[in-house]
Protein backbone atom coordinates (compact mmCIF):
# COMPACT_ATOMS: atom_id res chain seq x y z
CA UNK A 1 0.00 0.00 0.00
CA UNK A 2 1.32 3.47 -0.94
CA UNK A 3 2.42 5.87 1.79
CA UNK A 4 0.31 9.05 1.96
CA UNK A 5 3.01 11.61 2.65
CA UNK A 6 2.59 14.51 5.03
CA UNK A 7 4.74 17.61 5.29
CA UNK A 8 8.02 16.96 7.11
CA UNK A 9 7.72 13.17 6.96
CA UNK A 10 10.91 11.16 6.42
CA UNK A 11 10.80 7.67 4.91
CA UNK A 12 13.26 4.90 4.17
CA UNK A 13 13.29 3.82 0.55
CA UNK A 14 12.28 0.26 1.36
CA UNK A 15 9.65 -1.89 -0.31
CA UNK A 16 7.23 -4.00 1.73
CA UNK A 17 9.55 -6.95 1.03
CA UNK A 18 12.44 -5.11 2.72
CA UNK A 19 14.35 -4.57 -0.52
CA UNK A 20 15.80 -1.14 -1.23
CA UNK A 21 13.93 1.01 -3.73
CA UNK A 22 16.65 2.04 -6.19
CA UNK A 23 14.80 2.46 -9.51
CA UNK A 24 11.66 4.59 -9.42
CA UNK A 25 9.81 7.55 -10.91
CA UNK A 26 8.92 10.88 -9.34
CA UNK A 27 5.85 12.15 -11.16
CA UNK A 28 3.36 15.02 -11.11
CA UNK A 29 -0.17 14.66 -12.46
CA UNK A 30 -2.62 17.48 -13.15
CA UNK A 31 -5.55 18.47 -15.31
CA UNK A 32 -6.36 21.40 -17.55
CA UNK A 33 -9.05 23.72 -16.20
CA UNK A 34 -12.33 23.00 -18.00
CA UNK A 35 -15.44 25.16 -17.85
CA UNK A 36 -18.71 25.47 -19.74
CA UNK A 37 -19.09 28.14 -22.39
CA UNK A 38 -22.11 30.24 -23.35
CA UNK A 39 -25.38 28.62 -22.15
CA UNK A 40 -23.44 25.48 -21.36
CA UNK A 41 -23.41 24.52 -25.04
CA UNK A 42 -19.62 24.46 -25.38
CA UNK A 43 -16.60 23.68 -23.28
CA UNK A 44 -13.64 25.94 -22.60
CA UNK A 45 -10.27 24.36 -21.84
CA UNK A 46 -7.51 26.37 -20.16
CA UNK A 47 -4.09 24.73 -20.48
CA UNK A 48 -1.96 24.51 -17.33
CA UNK A 49 1.84 24.40 -17.56
CA UNK A 50 3.44 23.01 -14.40
CA UNK A 51 7.18 22.33 -14.37
CA UNK A 52 8.73 19.49 -12.37
CA UNK A 53 12.45 20.07 -11.74
CA UNK A 54 15.32 19.02 -9.51
CA UNK A 55 18.79 20.14 -8.50
CA UNK A 56 21.56 17.82 -7.32
CA UNK A 57 23.74 18.98 -4.42
CA UNK A 58 27.26 17.72 -3.74
CA UNK A 59 29.04 17.09 -0.43
CA UNK A 60 30.22 20.73 -0.40
CA UNK A 61 26.61 21.99 -0.58
CA UNK A 62 27.06 23.18 -4.15
CA UNK A 63 24.76 22.54 -7.12
CA UNK A 64 26.54 19.95 -9.25
CA UNK A 65 23.78 19.03 -11.73
CA UNK A 66 20.17 19.78 -12.60
CA UNK A 67 17.06 18.75 -14.50
CA UNK A 68 14.62 21.39 -15.70
CA UNK A 69 12.93 22.36 -18.93
CA UNK A 70 15.16 23.42 -21.86
CA UNK A 71 12.33 25.80 -22.79
CA UNK A 72 13.35 28.28 -20.09
CA UNK A 73 15.10 31.26 -21.70
CA UNK A 74 18.84 31.13 -21.12
CA UNK A 75 19.17 34.89 -20.70
CA UNK A 76 16.68 34.79 -17.81
CA UNK A 77 18.33 31.74 -16.19
CA UNK A 78 21.73 33.44 -16.36
CA UNK A 79 20.42 36.27 -14.18
CA UNK A 80 20.16 33.65 -11.43
CA UNK A 81 23.54 32.10 -12.26
CA UNK A 82 21.88 29.05 -13.83
CA UNK A 83 22.74 26.98 -16.88
CA UNK A 84 20.46 26.00 -19.76
CA UNK A 85 17.84 23.41 -18.91
CA UNK A 86 18.33 19.76 -19.82
CA UNK A 87 16.49 16.44 -19.54
CA UNK A 88 19.25 14.08 -18.40
CA UNK A 89 21.86 14.28 -15.65
CA UNK A 90 25.53 14.04 -16.56
CA UNK A 91 25.80 10.55 -15.02
CA UNK A 92 22.63 9.47 -16.91
CA UNK A 93 21.10 8.27 -13.64
CA UNK A 94 18.11 10.63 -13.87
CA UNK A 95 15.95 11.53 -16.86
CA UNK A 96 13.09 14.00 -17.31
CA UNK A 97 10.16 13.08 -19.54
CA UNK A 98 9.93 16.60 -21.00
CA UNK A 99 7.79 19.70 -20.57
CA UNK A 100 4.00 19.19 -20.58
CA UNK A 101 2.48 22.56 -21.46
CA UNK A 102 -1.20 21.71 -21.06
CA UNK A 103 -2.25 19.08 -18.48
CA UNK A 104 -4.91 16.41 -19.04
CA UNK A 105 -8.00 17.51 -20.95
CA UNK A 106 -11.16 15.44 -20.59
CA UNK A 107 -10.28 13.94 -17.22
CA UNK A 108 -7.45 12.10 -15.51
CA UNK A 109 -5.77 9.58 -17.83
CA UNK A 110 -4.06 7.83 -14.90
CA UNK A 111 -0.55 8.79 -15.99
CA UNK A 112 1.67 11.59 -14.71
CA UNK A 113 2.23 14.58 -16.96
CA UNK A 114 5.87 15.09 -16.05
CA UNK A 115 8.14 12.38 -14.69
CA UNK A 116 11.72 12.16 -13.50
CA UNK A 117 13.09 8.61 -13.54
CA UNK A 118 15.73 7.82 -10.92
CA UNK A 119 18.39 5.09 -10.75
CA UNK A 120 20.09 5.56 -7.38
CA UNK A 121 22.75 2.97 -8.21
CA UNK A 122 24.12 5.19 -10.99
CA UNK A 123 24.11 8.58 -9.26
CA UNK A 124 27.53 10.21 -8.95
CA UNK A 125 29.09 9.29 -5.59
CA UNK A 126 29.66 12.98 -4.78
CA UNK A 127 25.90 13.75 -4.78
CA UNK A 128 24.49 13.98 -1.24
CA UNK A 129 21.04 15.56 -1.77
CA UNK A 130 18.52 15.89 -4.60
CA UNK A 131 15.76 18.50 -4.25
CA UNK A 132 12.52 18.19 -6.24
CA UNK A 133 10.33 21.23 -6.81
CA UNK A 134 7.33 22.35 -8.84
CA UNK A 135 6.65 25.70 -10.51
CA UNK A 136 3.61 26.97 -12.38
CA UNK A 137 4.58 28.81 -15.57
CA UNK A 138 1.12 30.43 -15.53
CA UNK A 139 -0.70 32.45 -12.89
CA UNK A 140 -3.12 29.89 -11.44
CA UNK A 141 -2.61 28.74 -7.88
CA UNK A 142 -2.62 25.07 -6.93
CA UNK A 143 -6.14 25.15 -5.49
CA UNK A 144 -7.48 25.93 -8.99
CA UNK A 145 -5.68 23.07 -10.74
CA UNK A 146 -7.63 19.80 -10.94
CA UNK A 147 -6.21 16.76 -9.09
CA UNK A 148 -2.64 18.06 -8.82
CA UNK A 149 -0.73 15.17 -7.21
CA UNK A 150 2.90 14.20 -6.64
CA UNK A 151 3.95 10.56 -6.30
CA UNK A 152 6.84 8.11 -6.29
CA UNK A 153 6.32 4.79 -8.01
CA UNK A 154 8.00 1.83 -9.63
CA UNK A 155 7.48 1.64 -13.37
CA UNK A 156 8.03 3.84 -16.40
CA UNK A 157 6.59 7.16 -17.64
CA UNK A 158 3.90 5.15 -19.50
CA UNK A 159 3.21 2.39 -16.97
CA UNK A 160 2.75 2.45 -13.19
CA UNK A 161 3.72 -0.89 -11.64
CA UNK A 162 3.52 -0.07 -7.93
CA UNK A 163 2.92 3.28 -6.20
CA UNK A 164 5.29 3.82 -3.27
CA UNK A 165 4.28 7.22 -1.87
CA UNK A 166 2.03 10.13 -2.85
CA UNK A 167 1.16 13.69 -1.85
CA UNK A 168 -2.19 15.23 -2.82
CA UNK A 169 -1.44 18.89 -3.54
CA UNK A 170 -4.88 19.98 -4.74
CA UNK A 171 -6.52 18.87 -1.48
CA UNK A 172 -4.14 20.77 0.79
CA UNK A 173 -5.29 24.25 1.80
CA UNK A 174 -1.77 25.57 2.43
CA UNK A 175 -1.20 25.73 -1.35
CA UNK A 176 -4.07 28.11 -2.02
CA UNK A 177 -2.67 31.25 -3.62
CA UNK A 178 0.74 29.62 -4.22
CA UNK A 179 2.41 28.83 -7.55
CA UNK A 180 5.47 26.88 -6.48
CA UNK A 181 6.33 24.07 -4.07
CA UNK A 182 9.58 22.68 -2.74
CA UNK A 183 8.33 19.10 -2.78
CA UNK A 184 10.99 17.07 -1.04
CA UNK A 185 14.50 15.74 -1.18
CA UNK A 186 16.40 12.52 -1.53
CA UNK A 187 19.37 12.50 0.83
CA UNK A 188 22.16 10.08 1.64
CA UNK A 189 22.67 9.02 5.25
CA UNK A 190 25.42 6.52 6.12
CA UNK A 191 25.53 5.28 2.54
CA UNK A 192 21.75 4.78 2.22
CA UNK A 193 19.27 6.98 0.37
CA UNK A 194 16.20 8.27 2.20
CA UNK A 195 13.39 10.69 1.30
CA UNK A 196 12.10 13.72 3.19
CA UNK A 197 8.74 15.26 2.22
CA UNK A 198 9.33 19.02 2.58
CA UNK A 199 6.06 20.26 1.09
CA UNK A 200 6.78 23.99 1.49
CA UNK A 201 4.73 26.39 -0.68
CA UNK A 202 6.61 29.53 -1.73
CA UNK A 203 5.92 32.95 -3.21
CA UNK A 204 8.24 32.27 -6.17
CA UNK A 205 6.98 33.00 -9.67
CA UNK A 206 10.09 31.67 -11.46
CA UNK A 207 12.22 28.56 -11.20
CA UNK A 208 15.38 30.60 -10.58
CA UNK A 209 13.88 32.07 -7.41
CA UNK A 210 13.05 28.58 -6.12
CA UNK A 211 16.58 27.31 -6.73
CA UNK A 212 18.03 30.35 -4.94
CA UNK A 213 15.67 29.67 -2.02
CA UNK A 214 16.82 26.04 -1.80
CA UNK A 215 20.50 27.07 -1.76
CA UNK A 216 20.00 29.80 0.84
CA UNK A 217 17.52 28.15 3.20
CA UNK A 218 17.59 24.36 2.83
CA UNK A 219 21.27 23.39 2.72
pTM metric for this prediction: 0.91
Give the integer Cα–Cα distance in Å for 88 and 21: 20
Phi, psi of 142 (to 5 degrees): -65, -25
Q: What is the pLDDT of residues 44-87, one digit of tens each?
A: 888 888 899 999 999 999 999 999 999 999 999 999 999 999 99
Q: What is the pLDDT of residues 1-28, one digit of tens each?
A: 578 888 888 888 887 777 888 999 999 8
Domain of 81, CATH number, reads 2.60.60.30
Domain count, the chain: 1
State the sign of the Cα–Cα–Cα–Cα dihedral 111, 117, 120, 126.
Answer: negative
Q: Around Cβ 164, how many Cβ atoms within 10 Å?
A: 22
Mean pLDDT of 139-164: 85
Range of the domain at 168: 3-217
37-46, 160-169, 198-207: which range is least confident on average? 37-46
- Answer with the residue of higher pLDDT: 126 or 6: 126
Mean pLDDT of 185-192: 91
Indicate if the pLDDT at residue 170 is higher than 70. Answer: no
- Answer with the residue of higher pLDDT: 31 or 38: 31
What is the pLDDT confidence band of residue 137, given thresholds at 50, 70 and 90?
confident
CA angle 57, 59, 65 (to 5 degrees): 30
Mean pLDDT of 86-97: 97
What are the helix (H) ranges across 107-205? none
Amino acid sequence: MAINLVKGQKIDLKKASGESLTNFCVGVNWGAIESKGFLGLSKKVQNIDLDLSCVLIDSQNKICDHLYSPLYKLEVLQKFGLQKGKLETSDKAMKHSGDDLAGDAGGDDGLDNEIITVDLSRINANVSQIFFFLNNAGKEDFSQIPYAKIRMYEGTPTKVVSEFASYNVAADGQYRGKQSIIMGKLYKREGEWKFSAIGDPTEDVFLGQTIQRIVKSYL
